[in-house]
Amino acid sequence: MEITKEHKQWLVDFNLNHPLVIAGPCSAETEEQVLKIAHELKNSDVSIFRAGIWKPRTRPGGFEGVGEIGLKWLQRAKAETGLLMAIEVANAQHVKLALEHDIDVLWIGARTTVNPFAVQEIADALQNTDKIVLIKNPVNPDLSLWIGGVERLYNAGIKKLGVIHRGFSTYEKTKFRNNPEWQIAIDLQNKFPNLPLICDPSHITGKRDMIQEVSQQALDLNYDGLIIETHIDPEKAWSDAAQQVTPATLKQIFIDLKMRKETDENAEWNKEMALQRAYIDELDTKLIEILGKRMKLAEKIGLLKKEKNVAILQNKRWNEILGRMILDGEEKGLTEEFVLKIYKAIHQESIAHQEKIINKN
């Protein structure tokens, strides 16, 4: 798969001097609600109006969208405001109805991305379409699955492609509704630099008061756009009320956001940047050397355990290390979340090295 500048041309064609903004309610609830929000967003930085027509819920019994009738409301909103319209599609029938109602942007949701059969069905239904098609990351942190979804759309001849980063589900409690796992999106961005990358701070945070913070982080990481759930009366929204903002709040968010340059031409600045990066490269090399030495020691411990038939996992010792490292990390300005992530990875690698030694004949 070769993602070229052609696949990003749809974004360039908007001719914006700011990141792309997609906004609108989590769910289309009534025609009046859709039209009111669309008109509020018309004279702002918003280029694309979004609304959920079919709402996949984790469990049955909740509001699952108004269905096909909502597409007619979007047609009217488009005619009255000139905004492009975007909806989520989860199967071929959704695609058929979206195309019949001239929806401009279709996105594949996180629950659908995890199912290659469903993504292929949608790709087949969209074969060679000139619509903009975006694919959200899968619910679980799986870069290959995300790329696989893009590949299926690419192979269907879709030229106007993009991805939406909406965060990943986790059993661990964090301040986010869906943990961003920024590195996964950055890895995708580095692999396919011509693939437009849009951040969904609404689903990452689950809380309207955190949307500004996460939106800024996305812009600092050179994302191409934002998709933010916006409702005329968020507290009374029929779905995901806590993460939606008013049109007025959305406009203020974009006033407060700081747009970053990709680089700077100043010679002194570039010289200092190169120097600091050289220091980082040197430290990174030392980190790998230290980790390699640590794993050699883990292997020696594995030999000692093998000699006396002792279990690999020693919970008491592990918890002591973890507690000490969290305290040491705090003293050096490192968050507990970061230290836990690093040391869990180190611990898992140590166990793998010991298992290799113990199981070796």
CATH number, domain containing residue 282 = 1.20.59.10
| pLDDT for the residue 225 | 96
Domain boundary, last residue among 200, 233, 256 = 256
Reference 30, options 232, 331, 220; nearest CA is 232
* pLDDT for the residue 171: 75
Range of the domain at 324: 267-358
Q: At what angle do helices 116-125 and 143-155 cross, to 10 degrees?
A: 20
Statement to judge: residues 291 and 248 lie in one domain: no
Tens of pLDDT along the chain (361 residues) come to: 888 888 899 999 999 889 999 999 999 999 999 999 999 999 889 999 999 999 876 677 678 888 999 999 999 999 999 999 999 999 999 999 999 999 999 999 999 999 999 999 999 999 989 999 999 999 999 999 999 999 999 999 999 999 999 999 887 778 899 999 999 999 999 999 999 999 999 999 999 999 999 999 999 999 999 999 999 999 999 998 999 999 999 999 999 999 877 778 888 988 998 899 999 999 999 999 999 999 999 999 999 998 889 888 888 988 999 999 999 999 999 999 899 989 999 999 999 999 988 888 7
In-domain check, residue 261: no
Amino acid at 177: R
Beta bridge partners of 24: 229
Q: Are 11 and 138 members of one domain?
A: yes
Say whether both 185 and 321 belong to one domain.
no
Verify that 158 and 307 share a domain, yes or no. no
Q: How many domains does the chain have?
A: 2
Q: Are residues 198 and 298 in the same domain?
A: no
User: Of the residues 225, 256, 287, which one is the last residue of a structural domain?
Assistant: 256
Q: Are residues 244 and 275 in the same domain?
A: no
* 219 and 298 co-located in one domain: no
What are the Cα distances from residue 315, in Å, to 17, 117, 312, 319, 345? 54, 41, 10, 6, 15
pLDDT at residue number 174: 81
Based on the fold, state whether residues 227 and 283 are members of the same structural domain: no
Pairwise CA distance, residues 41 & 81, whole Å: 9
Q: Are residues 245 and 163 in the same domain?
A: yes
- The domain boundary residue, chosen from 256, 277, 304: 256
Report the pLDDT value the prediction gives residue 240, as an integer from 0 to 100.
87
Residues 202-222 pLDDT 10s: 999 999 999 999 999 999 999
Tell me the H-state helices in the chain: 9-12, 31-42, 69-81, 92-100, 110-113, 116-125, 143-155, 182-191, 201-205, 211-220, 247-256, 267-308, 315-331, 336-358
361's CB contacts (< 8 A; 6+ apart) are none
Q: How many other CB atoms sit within 10 Å of the CB of residue 104?
A: 18
Query: Closest Cα to residue 135, out of 226, 124, 148?
Result: 148
On whether both 35 and 64 belong to a single domain, the answer is yes
Q: Give the residue from 164, 167, 221 showing the smallest Cα distance to 196.
A: 164
pLDDT digits (tens, 9 = 90+) for 293-341: 999 999 999 999 988 898 888 889 889 999 999 999 999 999 998 999 8
Are 197 and 116 contained in the same domain?
yes
Same domain, 324 and 296: yes
